[in-house]
């Protein structure tokens, strides 16, 4: 369902991204679509008034969408429960990906600490280990002509 199709009494599904709390509120009223320039260029929008924490709050959304954002309050507002479920799954997935990187970065820190200790305490006259000079990898054509090096 799109925001323009809501009526007074319709449920709105809210995800508070700050506290990671999902809830359902009720639209008290929905305006008729009107033009607004608040979205960069004139766009048809609707105003939705809902009770939030005992106070009326007005949300303005593009009429032909089913999800919008209240950036000031870190909220995602949708016309259906599934949209909020997808947003929660997306947040969870991003955090799981971040946690998978922890072990990798811990190993880098440990290796850097070892090398710092070795390199800082090495005598100035000690010759540096010689390694074979590898041929520089040839750039590959990447996205849109951007050159990338294979690592």
Give me the average pLDDT of each 10-residue run along the chain (151 residues).
Answer: 95 95 96 88 93 90 94 94 96 93 91 91 70 59 47 38
At 121 the pLDDT is: 85
Per-residue pLDDT at 123:
77
Q: What pLDDT shows up at residue 149?
A: 42
Rg from Cα positions in the chain? 27
Say what the pLDDT of residue 133 is. Answer: 59
**pTM of this structure:** 0.68
Which pLDDT value is given to residue 98? 93
The reported pLDDT for the residue numbered 113 is 94
Residue count of the chain: 151
| pLDDT on residue 130 | 64
Coil, strand, or helix at residue 102?
Answer: helix
pLDDT of the residue at 138: 57
């Amino acid at each position: 369902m799109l925001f323009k199709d809501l009526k007074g009494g319709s449920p709105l599904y809210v995800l508070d991204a700050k506290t990671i709390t999902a809830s359902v509120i009720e639209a008290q009223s929905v305006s008729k679509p009107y033009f607004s320039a608040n979205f960069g260029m004139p766009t048809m929008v609707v105003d939705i008034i809902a009770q939030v924490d005992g106070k009326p709050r007005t949300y303005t959304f593009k009429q032909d969408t089913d999800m919008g954002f209240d950036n000031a309050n870190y909220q995602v507002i949708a016309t259906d429960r599934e949209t909020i479920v997808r947003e929660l799954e997306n947040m969870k997935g991003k955090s799981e990906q971040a946690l998978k990187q922890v072990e990798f970065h811990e190993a880098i820190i440990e290796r850097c600490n070892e090398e710092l200790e070795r390199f800082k305490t090495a005598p100035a006259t000690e010759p540096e280990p010689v390694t074979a000079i590898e041929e520089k990898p040839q750039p590959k054509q990447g996205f849109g002509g951007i050159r990338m090096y294979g690592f």
